A and B are shown apart, each in its own frame.
Chain A
């Protein structure tokens, strides 16, 4: 990496979102390089270059270590290693949201499945159990009653990874068949979509349908505050509405996919351009 290539896009998987960002960098004549993180390595102590790195690595372990190594070498990484670590772990996200005083479902952590069963007596049923890491609703399970919880937690207890046996629990929120995904870039809420589904897991990866959501001041303010709470400069903030219509922050995604949102937006706004704008501004401010 060199000054001649001030922008680096780190990604092992070039999805539609990464491709749009690379296309915008090329179209605007901004020198850049795409690095496949699967081939990337870094000698500790090397501080030879200070590029702006857009970290779009899809694997959390690779994304976190790459961000830490690059920051140690003097690079500016977006999102930062700290933001990636906070967003990549649901418990750490929840702790940051609560510390910032933001509304979020009641959450508990159990250090063993047995402790989680006790915690559920406090959280109450129905509840939801989620893996600490991962996206797209994978392995997120509803616990309607103690009997189901005992069964699910028995499976959790049999998982081989010690981290997988740390149990993250949340109260069940009776949301109105949808959640709200907000894209935040550089402290600004750019756009929002409703994700509607018949299924209680309203992830697009699970078949939820995306449609534009009017950006209200409440949605924008809460999404920006949630992104700030986890120190994310580029974020996909998931909000849900409870039975009274109050907005709660569910999670914040550090490597947000936006191709579906972009399709819904049409030509009204280019998310990739706004991400590149943010990187350029970052480059200016850090080099002045």
Chain B
């Protein structure tokens, strides 16, 4: 479980968390990136850049 840095909601990643994983806060819909696993910490994910895509 990680704490959303935007609204302090508790966010539970699905399955086993992975470093770099993007999870969405169910409260404020912010995208969070998991930075560390032990202890588990997350920060706001980077903003979309111009050349991002599929």
Chain A residues within CB distance 8 Å of chain B: 11-15, 19, 22-23, 34, 36, 58-61, 88, 133-136, 236, 253-257
Known: A34-B19, A136-B53, A253-B54. 14 other contacts (CB 8 A): A12-B20, A13-B33, A14-B18, A14-B19, A19-B21, A36-B20, A88-B51, A88-B53, A133-B53, A134-B52, A135-B52, A135-B54, A255-B53, A255-B54
Which of A14, A23, A135, A136 neighbours the largest number of chain B CB atoms within 10 Å of its CB?
A14
Instruction: Give the number of residues in B that approach A within 8 Å (Cβ atoms).
Output: 16
Q: Mark B23-54, 1 if CB is under 8 A from A, else 0.
A: 00000000001000000000001100111111
The answer to whether B50 touches A14, judged by C-beta atoms less than 8 angstroms apart, is no
The answer to whether B20 touches A34, judged by C-beta atoms less than 8 angstroms apart, is yes
The main secondary structure of chain B at its interface with chain A is loop
Taking CB atoms, residues of chain A closer than 8 Å to B53 are: 58, 60, 88, 133-136, 253, 255
The answer to whether B49 touches A11, judged by C-beta atoms less than 8 angstroms apart, is no
- Out of B22, B49, B51, name the residue touching A15 (CB < 8 Å): B22
The answer to whether B51 touches A19, judged by C-beta atoms less than 8 angstroms apart, is no
A256 and B54 alpha carbons, distance in the complex (Å): 5
| 19 chain-A/chain-B pairs, Cβ below 8 angstroms | A13-B20, A13-B22, A13-B45, A14-B21, A15-B22, A19-B15, A23-B15, A23-B16, A34-B18, A34-B19, A34-B20, A58-B52, A58-B53, A59-B49, A59-B51, A60-B52, A134-B50, A253-B54, A255-B54
